[in-house]
Structure 1
Amino acid sequence: MQVGTESKAGSELHAWRQFLSRSTLWLGVLLLGSAAVCWVAANWQDMTKMQRFAGVQGLLAVCALAAAWSGLRLRARPGVRRSIPGALLALAGILLGALLALLGQTYQTGADTWELFAWWAVLLLPWALAAGSQAVWLLWALVLNLAAALWLGERVFTWLMIFGGPGLPSLLMAALNLVLLFGWEMAARRWRASTVFGPRILAAIA
């Protein structure tokens, strides 16, 4: 009985350590991504166009190279270390969106907001396919949702119809997320991957 109790306590402690490690990792990704965006915004007036683009592109390149290097070195490691390449690539994906926003803000391309998110989703898709990371796929799904919602709001329906209750726009968004959820579950079953947060988030959005 004592051995069983110690084993159970040890497994619970290990589970909590894994949870805290992953939570800290993803919190760090969100904070670093937010810090990069805020850094550019805070120094907007004092930076030239070249400095703005060089700064964001440099951070993007560093994150992408670090993700590739860690993917080769840590993918076979157990525990939280396996999540580091996906976290770095997700951070690079956030910086990719910041770079597209910087491009549109600097040169005033005249593109609609939904086009920015649509291009973000298109450019992020090869990264998600190459990395096979649940974090990058979830980021792609969220960006795709934003692009679809903005497109419906700007070109087809009003924002009030999208978020104001049941109706055709809400059904379209729900259908999109149900398709994404179905694809996620099929891929998880095909490659026998353990997924928790992705399907729950997509189901909540749907």
Structure 2
Amino acid sequence: MTGATESTPVVPRVPVLNAANALTLLRLVLVPVFMAMVVVSAMTHASWRIVACLVFVFASVTDLVDGWIARRFGLVTSVGKVADPIADKALTGAALVLLSWYDWLPWWVTAVILARELGITALRFWVIRHGVIAASRGGKIKTALQILAITWYLWPMPAALSAVGPWIMAAAVIVTVVTGFDYVAQALRLRRPHP
């Protein structure tokens, strides 16, 4: 009889403190650093704007790297799936608010994007006992467009190139809103009682 000796294979538990989550934490730590650089620049000093832009880009790149590390080395955790989008929203949210504060971006754009981002974060917590809403492909495109648009605004571009920024941001806003509806649909499916 082998039934008594056989057991279910043990799935190794992924530690919460791992390289991927450490990068997510680093991104959160860089948010106030980035904000300080923007405030020092007041969006008028080119050299400080470049520094702020580089900090923003570096922090944004950690989002790509931590996701790759988590998938490549099997370090995906529920904590990471929730903390990662929160770190993203903290970084992009801070950038959008500061750009609007210094009159580089209309406040309604910041309001629409932040309302969507905070709403989706709330949805993730609402359904967390039923499942985790991971970032979709559309969500990743949205994030890429937001990062590109913010980078465009932060970097001291020549006037001709600076005019491209609002078009990139317009595309980011459209994708942000559309993907927001998709996440709402996912959340409702997770909350729906299963037979």
**Fold-level similarity (TM above 0.5):** no
Please indicate the TM-score interval, normalised by the length of the shorter structure. Answer: 0.3 to 0.5
In terms of fraction of residues, the more helix-rich structure is 1
If the length of structure 2 is used for normalisation, what is the TM-score?
Answer: 0.39
* TM-score (structure 1 length as normaliser): 0.38
